[in-house]
């Protein structure tokens, strides 16, 4: 069964303290791994798409990387406005719909 | 101008009632979706429509019926509501089928349904 597991469930950082979020997956025929950001009371907002192992994407303080079994979202020198839940999703299987993980809730304190 | 808008944002109702959630997108996208986010925060697809045609119908009870009058609208009607239907329902759209090219889905702000 296709599955996405994110860790940790919650992460508290001080402003400027870099860290990484993990997304491990099992899927038959990966057709893309995606990162989204979700603010409280809002819908998820698209961040990145990664298609193959070794690929990296960057946006401001965020960098996403992909291996054959997992993806990392690295946050460099985070700011309080980076506080949100970060969702990882994969596309695979016969129908190709997105399968989401539970997310990592990131809190960045000033 | 909101890209994907859903109404209502909050819905509180009694068990056994019927309710509808409306969704509209002004992005010109061909594909629209309904996702359910339960209390454990898992976001799970329910339905996908491409150009008014049903593409994905995950295992959801047939009390849930999507209706797409045109490609800019995808409404969700729920009959005989049960306690377990309480969740946040998100509408989304993408430019292509399943967001195949970019994986980019545009989500609405969600409709929180509470069944008492």
Quick: pLDDT tens for B27-75. 999 889 999 999 877 899 898 888 778 877 777 889 999 999 998 999 9
pLDDT at B98 (0 to 100): 60
Q: E strands of chain B, at which residues?
A: 4-7, 10-13, 19-25, 31-37, 43-50, 53-57, 64-70, 73-78, 87-94, 106-107, 111-115
Contact of B56 with chain A, judged by CB distance below 8 Å, is answered with yes
CA distance A66 to chain B (A): 15
Provide the pairing of β-strand B64-70 with B87-94.
Answer: unpaired
B-chain residues within 8 Å CB-CB of A42?
109-110
Q: How far apart are CA B99 and CA A60, in angstroms?
A: 24
pLDDT tens, per residue, chain A with 110 residues: 788 999 999 999 999 999 999 999 998 878 889 999 999 999 999 999 999 999 999 999 999 999 989 999 999 999 999 999 999 999 876 667 788 999 999 999 99
A-chain residues within 8 Å CB-CB of B110?
41-43
Question: Residue B96's closest CA among B22, B25, B32?
Answer: B32
Inter-chain CB proximity B103 and A100 less than 8 Å: no
Q: How far apart are CA B90 and CA A43, in angstroms?
A: 7
B-facing residues of A in 22-51 (CB < 8 A) are 32, 34, 41-46, 49
Nearest to A32 among B42, B55, B103 (CB): B103
Is the confidence at residue B19, as pLDDT, over 70? yes
Contact of B102 with chain A, judged by CB distance below 8 Å, is answered with yes
Q: Which two tokens stand for residue B2?
A: 């909101």
Q: What three-state secondary structure class fits A26?
A: strand
Tell me the per-residue pLDDT of B96-112, one tens digit each, with 9 for 90 and over: 766 566 678 999 999 99
CA distance B16 to chain A (A): 27
């Amino acid at each position: 069964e296709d599955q996405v597991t994110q860790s940790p469930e919650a992460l508290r950082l001080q402003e400027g303290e870099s860290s990484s979020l993990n997304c491990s997956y099992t899927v038959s025929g990966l057709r893309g791994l995606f990162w989204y950001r979700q603010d409280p009371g809002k819908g998820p907002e698209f961040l990145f798409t990664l298609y193959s192992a070794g690929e990296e994407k960057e946006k401001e303080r965020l960098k996403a990387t992909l291996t054959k079994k997992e993806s990392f979202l690295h946050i460099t020198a985070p700011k309080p406005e980076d506080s949100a839940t970060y969702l990882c999703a994969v596309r695979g299987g016969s129908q190709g719909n997105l399968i989401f993980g539970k997310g990592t809730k990131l809190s960045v304190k000033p | 101008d909101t890209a994907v808008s859903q109404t209502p944002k909050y819905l509180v109702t009694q068990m056994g009632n019927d309710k509808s959630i409306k969704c509209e997108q002004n992005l010109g996208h061909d594909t629209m979706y309904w996702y359910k986010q339960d209390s454990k925060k898992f976001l799970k697809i329910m339905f996908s429509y491409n150009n008014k045609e049903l593409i994905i119908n995950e295992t959801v009870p047939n009390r849930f019926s999507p209706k797409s009058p045109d490609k800019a609208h995808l409404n969700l009607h729920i009959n005989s509501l049960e306690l377990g239907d309480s969740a946040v329902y998100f509408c989304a759209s993408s430019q292509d089928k399943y967001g195949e090219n970019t994986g980019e889905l545009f989500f609405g702000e969600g409709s929180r349904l509470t069944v008492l």
